[in-house]
Amino acid sequence: MNTSRRDFIKISSLGVGGAAVVGGLMPVKLFGKDTDFNYDRPDLKRLPTYCDVCFWKCAAWAYVDEEGKIKKVIGNDEDQLSRGRLCTRGTGGLGLHYDDDRLRTPLIRVKGKGENAEFREATWEEATTLIAKKMTEIKNKYGAESFALLKHGDIGKHLDHLFQAYGSDTIAEPAFAQCRGPRDEGLKLTFGESCGSPESTDMRDSKCLVFIGSHIGENMHNSQVQEVSEAIDKGVSIITVDPRLSTVASKSKFWLPIRPATDIALMLAWMNVIIFEELYDKEYVAKYTTGLDELKEHVRPFTPEWAYSITDLTPKMIRESAYEMAHAAPAVVIHPGRHVTWYGDDTQRTRAIGILNALLGTWGRRGGFYFNEKAKVPKYPSPDYPEPAWAAKDLNVDLPFAKEGVTNRVIQASVPGTTLPHQVKAWMVAATNLTYSVPEEKSSFLKALDALEFLVVVDLYNVEIAGYADVVLPECSYLERHDAIRASEFREPSIALRVPAAQPRWKSKPGWEIAKLIGDKLGLGDYFNYKNYKEVLEWQLKQMGTSYEEMLHLGVKNLPRKTGPLYLDDIPDYQFNTASGKIELYSHELADAGFDPMPVYTAHPQPPRDYFRLIYGRAPMHTFSKTVNSPNLNDLKNENNLWINPRVAKIWNLKSGQEVWLKNQDEVVSTFPIKVRLTERIRWDSVYMVHGFGHKNKKLTRAYGKGINDTEMVTNIMVDPLMGGTGMRGNFVTILTENPNESVES
Ligand SMILES: Nc1nc2c(c(=O)[nH]1)N[C@H]1C(S)=C(S)[C@@H](COP(=O)(O)OP(=O)(O)OC[C@H]3O[C@@H](n4cnc5c(=O)[nH]c(N)nc54)[C@H](O)[C@@H]3O)O[C@H]1N2
Ligand SMILES: Nc1nc2c(c(=O)[nH]1)N[C@H]1C(S)=C(S)[C@@H](COP(=O)(O)OP(=O)(O)OC[C@H]3O[C@@H](n4cnc5c(=O)[nH]c(N)nc54)[C@H](O)[C@@H]3O)O[C@H]1N2
Ligand code: SF4
Ligand SMILES: [Mo]
């Protein structure tokens, strides 16, 4: 297929901004004349940072002029994660610094809750004194464990430290149960380890790439997009399984427009073809895996013909795509995805992906998956943490494979009279917009919010969740703060430094200082034995054989590997970290816990008449709900659209650009309308929108009322019984052409 890297990048932008993948070329005016930026200007200072617009954490340089104004952020050439280029969001990340809609001072709620809340401004002294007082009260009354931390992002590390010093390990983040949890647990069950973040996919050297849902190119995880581009240049063949012609599907040799929720059936059929046509890597399978005989018997009935009526994919297509990957093996990546909480059997779907990779011998092979490595950053000296009586993990009763805190369990434990073994009484919510990121389970979320004795929100913006907070604290943007050393796992270990490129705007403060202020007030000063975070960084960098000064010049430092080779072939007698020491095609661990030892296809409900499955994903220029209000990125896309197949539009008499409202299977109606986008690129049984829009808070002046928040429509949650992931794609919506909210209001 005649695709070039430039085409991929161009299309990856869906029209705008994609060129920024190749660094700083954003085709919009960032700040006046600076689009023709001259980095050698003598009046500019260059300061190291790593991007915080998403969790890839690309190392970058911030350019600051003599007046202290940040003019530009660009990728650090030495960084494996950015390779000198930031994605559109990273380039536009300056908007998080310059957005005047940001929180400016600490706030204390005086009246009302939620959308009607009223706040007054407070000093840091007053706000942190109140927080420390409440934390002490709650600890005395119920134990520190009943104060939960729900967090995401870089501030998480600082607050983890605060909470553990205080005595609470009731900590959870949406990145587990709403995102990568099923993948990580599914891969661990199979290979004894996960693929990590950044994922250890050796895509630059792959001959075949298989994307199951994973929509690289819209999902803009930087080095992955660049490696896929590189592989395309080298003639990789791509297989994409997606009910929607995603960006990467449009660059694929095979686009398999699967009926949503049937992926496991396809994978079983692929296994059937690969095993019975003897296309698997016999030597690898014999040497490194266990359970082939059981797997062979298990998949015997699951022929492509069997899968046809389930998946809507022809046997020919299933066979040919299986041949394609088998012929390229082992230089194949069947990508395990990242946001995988779809249908509640997601850990098992990831197991199926793992097993396919194992059959093709890709794990630990060039062009497949390499063994990654992370730098060890020494812990700054502080006393041991007290041992909490219980932790978030103890709320994961009946979830034997939930190895991290599960957000929904913390929420359920906060509802009065919870059936869970412990009751949560207060939350600190930091850098996560829970009303957007965690779907509600039978409205337990609102019940919990109502019952909490105390809620602190630490955010950049006055986001929806802040309306329920007793105290709101403004963190400054990543461009205004020191942070922990970045030690991302990759082909080589590396460290990267973030220093402030500007002063915190208004009265906002960095996360480390917020943690320290509260810690000091709680009498935990020994845990925060430094004046500022620079001291911590200086100490840590010195231990690592470098220095703060050196890192100011380098920004990022790649270190030699210590854990051995990248690939299996160079390691004699490799033992996997599973009970058997091998890759477990058949999992005794699962069988012993009463679960299917090999993935099984279960039929999930399909949309009833006049309803469509709601599916969602990413736009290349936004990160979730957090960049929608950011000036530059909002310029690129300020609302989401509803993708609808033209055949459906004809029957429903819908026009392109028309505003519609949605109603879901539980009669939940969208707050705002969304504009129709007619496109053949989506199946007729599904509608699609980008996550993160439809903000309800009027203080977000650019984002308010623009489009629909998909989470609002996600009221049916399919919980993964292995690890508590909240499957969000079992929701069906019908389309309303008249404003359903008008009559209620008038
Ligand atoms: N620009 C940008 N990039 C991001 C992010 C961002 O916010 N913005 N967020 C980052 C984060 S944290 C994550 S976790 C990742 C998420 O990105 P991915 O892991 O790539 O997310 P998915 O949920 O797999 O991708 C959504 C795709 O799944 C398809 N899909 C829907 N239902 C089905 C189905 O039943 N079967 C199949 N096969 N496909 C289906 C949709 O059509 C859509 O194309 O993106 C990361 N990258
Ligand atoms: N319906 C639905 N739900 C989803 C998803 C989906 O696609 N659809 N995606 C899921 C996935 S993959 C993930 S990873 C999660 C992500 O879930 P979240 O991490 O909750 O994502 P956001 O909604 O972007 O919330 C980030 C919050 O951090 C704030 N923020 C931004 N910068 C800073 C800062 O420097 N400091 C502080 N303190 N705050 C800051 C933002 O204002 C925002 O409130 O959501 C999950 N939930
Ligand atoms: S992928 Fe983009 S948004 Fe994410 S850290 Fe890198 S440059 Fe920033
Ligand atoms: Mo995620």
Q: What three-state secondary structure class fits 459?
A: strand
User: So what's the pLDDT on residue 441?
Assistant: 65
Task: Measure the CA–CA gap between 478 and 718, rounded to whole angstroms.
Answer: 35
User: So what's the pLDDT on residue 32?
Assistant: 30
Task: Measure the CA–CA gap between 89 and 221, rounded to whole angstroms.
Answer: 10
| Ligand 2 pocket check for 155: Cβ under 6 Å | yes
| Ligand 1 pocket check for 261: Cβ under 6 Å | yes
CA 52 to chain centre: 13
pLDDT tens-digit readout, 232-283 = 999 999 999 999 999 999 999 999 999 999 999 999 999 999 999 999 999 9
Task: Measure the CA–CA gap between 361 and 424, rounded to whole angstroms.
Answer: 46
SS (HEC) of 625-640: CCCCCCHHHHHHCCCC
pLDDT tens-digit readout, 554-587 = 999 999 999 999 999 999 999 999 999 999 999 9
Q: Which residues have C-beta within 8 Å of that of residue 387, sequence separation ≥ 6?
A: none
Phi/psi region, residue 690 (left: phi>0; alpha: psi -120 to 50; beta: rest), is beta
User: So what's the pLDDT on residue 40?
Assistant: 78
- The mean pLDDT of 645-674, rounded to a whole number, is 97
- Ranges of H-type helices in 444-586: 444-451, 511-521, 533-543, 548-554
Mutation test residue for ligand 1: of 242, 345, 637, 693, the one with most atoms within 8 Å of CB: 242
Judge whether residue 402 has pLDDT over 90: yes
Quote the tokens at residue 624.
């979730």
Quote the tokens at residue 605.
């409900």
| Ligand 2 pocket check for 691: Cβ under 6 Å | yes
Å from CA of 360 to ligand 3 middle: 31
Å from CA of 208 to ligand 4 middle: 25
Å from CA of 92 to ligand 1 middle: 21
| Strand bridging mode 732-736 / 612-617 | antiparallel
Task: Measure the CA–CA gap between 118 and 123, rounded to whole angstroms.
Answer: 17
| Strand bridging mode 583-584 / 732-736 | unpaired
Å from CA of 552 to ligand 4 middle: 30
| Strand bridging mode 237-241 / 556-558 | unpaired
Task: Measure the CA–CA gap between 650 and 660, rounded to whole angstroms.
Answer: 15
User: So what's the pLDDT on residue 96?
Assistant: 95
| Ligand 2 pocket check for 463: Cβ under 6 Å | yes
Å from CA of 582 to ligand 3 middle: 35
- Ranges of H-type helices in 453-607: 511-521, 533-543, 548-554, 588-592
- What residue has token string 């055949």? 647
Which ligand has the shortest distance to the CA of 726?
2
Å from CA of 184 to ligand 4 middle: 12
Quote the tokens at residue 603.
């039929």
Å from CA of 460 to ligand 4 middle: 19
Quote the tokens at residue 562.
């210590």
Å from CA of 439 to ligand 4 middle: 14
645-to-286, 606, 677 alpha-carbon distances in Å: 47, 17, 9
Identify whether the C-beta of residue 58 lies closer than 8 Å to the C-beta of residue 191: no
Mutation test residue for ligand 2: of 151, 159, 173, 178, the one with most atoms within 8 Å of CB: 178
Atom of ligand 3 nearest to the CA of 50: 5
Which ligand has the shortest distance to the CA of 338?
1
Mutation test residue for ligand 3: of 21, 56, 624, the one with most atoms within 8 Å of CB: 56
Task: Measure the CA–CA gap between 102 and 90, rounded to whole angstroms.
Answer: 18
Nearest CA to ligand 3 atom 8: 90
- DSSP one-letter string for 223-273: HHHHHHHHHHHTT-EEEEE-SB--TTGGG-SEEE-PPTT-HHHHHHHHHHH
pLDDT tens-digit readout, 150-171 = 999 999 999 999 999 999 999 9
Task: Measure the CA–CA gap between 746 and 744, rounded to whole angstroms.
Answer: 6
What does the DSSP 8-state code read for residue 174? H
pLDDT more than 70, % of the chain: 94
Quote the tokens at residue 227.
């490696």
Å from CA of 407 to ligand 1 middle: 20
Nearest CA to ligand 1 atom 47: 219
User: So what's the pLDDT on residue 640?
Assistant: 98
pLDDT tens-digit readout, 115-155 = 889 999 999 999 999 999 999 999 999 999 999 999 999 99
Å from CA of 464 to ligand 2 middle: 12
Å from CA of 617 to ligand 1 middle: 5
Nearest CA to ligand 1 atom 36: 260
pLDDT tens-digit readout, 704-732 = 999 999 999 999 999 999 999 999 999 99
pLDDT tens-digit readout, 676-701 = 999 999 999 999 999 999 999 888 99
Mutation test residue for ligand 2: of 54, 57, 433, the one with most atoms within 8 Å of CB: 433
Å from CA of 184 to ligand 1 middle: 16
Q: What three-state secondary structure class fits 473?
A: strand
- What residue has token string 């990508």? 335
Q: What three-state secondary structure class fits 736?
A: strand
Task: Measure the CA–CA gap between 702 and 695, rounded to whole angstroms.
Answer: 9
Quote the tokens at residue 154.
């870089």
Planar angle of CA 152, 261, 312, nearest 5 degrees: 145
Task: Measure the CA–CA gap between 414 and 417, rounded to whole angstroms.
Answer: 9
Atom of ligand 3 nearest to the CA of 89: 3
User: So what's the pLDDT on residue 35?
Assistant: 53
Amino acid at 375: A
**Surrounding residues of ion ligand 4, Cβ less than 5 A:** 179, 339
- The mean pLDDT of 356-365, rounded to a whole number, is 98
Task: Measure the CA–CA gap between 194 and 576, rounded to whole angstroms.
Answer: 12
| Ligand 1 pocket check for 5: Cβ under 6 Å | no
Closest CA to 462 of 121, 82, 125, 186: 121
- The mean pLDDT of 522-528, rounded to a whole number, is 98
Which ligand has the shortest distance to the CA of 21?
3
pLDDT tens-digit readout, 422-477 = 999 999 999 999 988 998 766 788 899 999 999 999 999 998 899 999 999 999 99
Planar angle of CA 666, 671, 672, nearest 5 degrees: 130
Judge whether residue 25 has pLDDT over 80: no
Planar angle of CA 488, 494, 496, nearest 5 degrees: 80
Quote the tokens at residue 403.
């190895």
User: So what's the pLDDT on residue 17?
Assistant: 32
User: So what's the pLDDT on residue 10?
Assistant: 38
Task: Measure the CA–CA gap between 197 and 202, rounded to whole angstroms.
Answer: 13
What does the DSSP 8-state code read for residue 48? E
Which ligand has the shortest distance to the CA of 267?
1
User: So what's the pLDDT on residue 523?
Assistant: 98
Mutation test residue for ligand 1: of 179, 215, 628, the one with most atoms within 8 Å of CB: 215
Nearest CA to ligand 1 atom 18: 214
Closest CA to 609 of 679, 685, 663, 667: 685
pLDDT tens-digit readout, 479-494 = 999 999 999 999 999 9
Domains of the chain: 31-92+480-507+530-560 (2.20.25.90), 102-170+391-475+510-528 (3.40.50.740), 182-368 (3.40.228.10), 612-736 (2.40.40.20)
Q: What three-state secondary structure class fits 59?
A: strand
Closest CA to 444 of 463, 467, 420: 420
Identify whether the C-beta of residue 219 lies closer than 8 Å to the C-beta of residue 242: no
pLDDT tens-digit readout, 311-320 = 999 999 999 9
Closest CA to 13 of 209, 239, 247: 247
Mean pLDDT of the chain: 93
Quote the tokens at residue 712.
């609002």
Nearest CA to ligand 2 atom 26: 432
Judge whether residue 3 has pLDDT over 60: no
Identify whether the C-beta of residue 631 lies closer than 8 Å to the C-beta of residue 98: yes
